[in-house]
Structure 1
Amino acid sequence: MSVIRINGRSIHYTDTLQGDVALVFSHGLLMDRSMFDAQVEALREHYRVITWDQRGHGQAGPNREPFSLWDSADDLAALLDHLDIPQAVLVGMSQGGYVSLRAALRYPEKVQALVLIATQAGLDAPGQQQLYAQLLDAWMNYSLTDALAQTVAGFILGDDPALAAPWISKWKALDTTTLALNFKALAERDDLLPQLARLQQPALVIWGDADRAISQDKAQQLKAGLAHSQFSSVAGAAHAVNMTHAERVNADIRRFLSEAVT
């Protein structure tokens, strides 16, 4: 793990260093770069694989300043510059997909291709927004109780207590101000659907059919808006499909890269 200063803050990242094609993985809300451990191990033999902790997540530490997902996209672009990578494949899961799309829109020359996992370009439905607000309110006012932790874990990771346990420990240690600002950045993001036609890079959209956060309509809407895209549906997969069904996702990414990246 390495640390650099980018845009006035410390960015923690890992870099396998070897490989002509760079893959940069951006994690989801409440997660950190370690959620891609299975992808790093599967892909590092043939690609340069980079993971990083976004603002307010992982080892980035507490955050006291409001920010937007466009700010996180700027962080991602600055990380590429620091590593002297002129162009990379951006791989984003959920919030990481939101960040990757914004980076591709603002810095298209830096993006070779996109892999978008359990994510969307539009906004959450009102009912979904209300659910997130209720979860945050309960967490902020009553701390992360065991019952609430299981609800959050089920939403992201499905029904796997062993997979959930280390993440619940991390969530219980979260600073509440940082937590609120992370949710705020997600809730106040803009709608990118009208801008998707600008993206001409090859793209792969991966979605699990047991995902309670991203509906099939939202995932298909993202795929339809991207000019050169493929879609992969993973049976039985929860939101963090790259963790719950790592072998299938790794195979999809390998196949896509072999076709789309030369």
Structure 2
Amino acid sequence: MTVVSLKSAQVREGLTLPYAEAGYPSGTPVVFVHGLGESWWAFEPLLRRLPASLHGYAPTQRGHGDADRPPEGYTPEDYAADLVAFLDAVDIDRAVLVASSTGGVHARMVAGSHPDRISGLVLIGVPGALEDKPAVTAMREAVEVLVDPVPREFSEEFASGAVDRSVARGLVETMIDESLKVPAHVWRETLRGLRDTDLRATLAGILVPTLVIWGDQDDFLPRGDQQTILDAVHGSRLLAYEGAGHHVHWEQPDRVVADLAAFATRIEHLGAPGTP
């Protein structure tokens, strides 16, 4: 197991993001991007398994976990700008972005707009679009009436509904506790920002190598939704994990790390960014 170090980065005045760092200094930089209601802890199972070829960073986004909580600024564009600022703050010239769930929206925005900074993109259970998804509609309705303090029952349902098979109870409990740190207005404004964004348009212009990882028991994202990503991003490739739910990286962390390492090695061999 790899040692995980906890640090913090001031990405701009008034906004400091805690982050976890793991792996080896000589390894390929990999930046993990979590989804709504989570924190760097969402990638703890992967960080502890990183091989010598990878050097991982997992920032907690604004409004989440122990990060600063500005009163506003929770659109995908805000999160994407924070991600670029984080790369600058920790002196990463180019990195592989590995994003889960809604974190994949702003990760792919950065990949499309900053191909000089991103060598590859891995999307784990990331929606191609949000319309016509009953689970997403139900969540929006619940979040619109959410008040502080956020009820534990809400967080328990949110965390447990993302997995299909047995996951270490300690991880689920940690993620419940982390989601309880997210104020109601952050839940609300983040979902509104996603709702008001043309998610299909955020797939345009991505030229970096892209890997799509999806669990075939994902109750949120049908296979057709993942096809939206594959059709939009030239050369992208799908790995379907049989029997896995929405958070594949919680259920099968060893396989995800192995696939990630193989993907990063392939990118190194490809050379220049944007090579198909």
Shared fold (TM-score, shorter chain, > 0.5) = yes
The gaps in structure 1 that reach 5 residues or longer are none
Q: State the partner residue of 1:4.
A: 9
For residues 227 and 133 of structure 2, what CA distance do their matches in structure 1 show? 19
What is the match of residue 197 of structure 2? 189
Is the partner of 2:134 in helix, strand or coil? helix
SS of the residue corresponding to residue 193 of structure 2 reads helix
Cα RMSD (Å)? 2.3
The answer as to whether partners of 2:17 and 2:68 remain within 8 angstroms in 1 is no
Give the corresponding residue for 2:268: 261
What is the match of residue 95 of structure 1? Answer: 102
Unaligned 5+ segments in structure 2 are 1-5, 270-276
Alignment partner of 1:13 out of 11, 19, 36: 19
Q: How many residue pairs end up in the alignment?
A: 260
Structure 1 position 212 matched with structure 2 position 219: yes
How far apart are 1:188 and its partner, in Å? 2.6
Rounded to whole Å, the distance in 2 between the matches of 1:129 and 1:120 is: 10
Deviations 1:22-58 (A, max 9, x none): 1000001111111111211222522111110111111
Counting only pairs closer than 5 Å after superposition, residues 78-227 of structure 1 correspond to structure 2 as 78-125=85-132, 127-137=134-144, 139-140=146-147, 143-144=150-151, 146=153, 148-158=154-164, 160=166, 162=169, 163-191=171-199, 193-194=200-201, 196-227=203-234
Residue 240 of structure 1 pairs with residue 259 of structure 2:
no
Q: Against the structure 1 CA distance between its residues 226 and 54, is the aligned structure 2 distance closer, same or farther, given a 3 Å change threshold?
A: same
2:33 maps to which of 3, 14, 26: 26
Residue 115 of structure 1 aligns to a residue whose secondary structure is strand
Using the size of structure 2 for normalisation, the TM-score is 0.84
**1:111, 1:75 → 2: CA distance?**
15
Q: Residues 63 and 88 from structure 1, CA distance in 2 versus in 1: closer, same or farther, beyond 3 angstroms?
A: same
Mapped pair 1:250 → 2:257 = yes
Question: What SS is found at the alignment partner of 2:237?
Answer: strand
User: What's the TM-score, normalizing by structure 1?
Assistant: 0.89
Which stretch shows the higher mean deviation, 49-58 or 36-45?
A: 36-45
Between the two proteins, what is the percent identity of the paired residues? 25
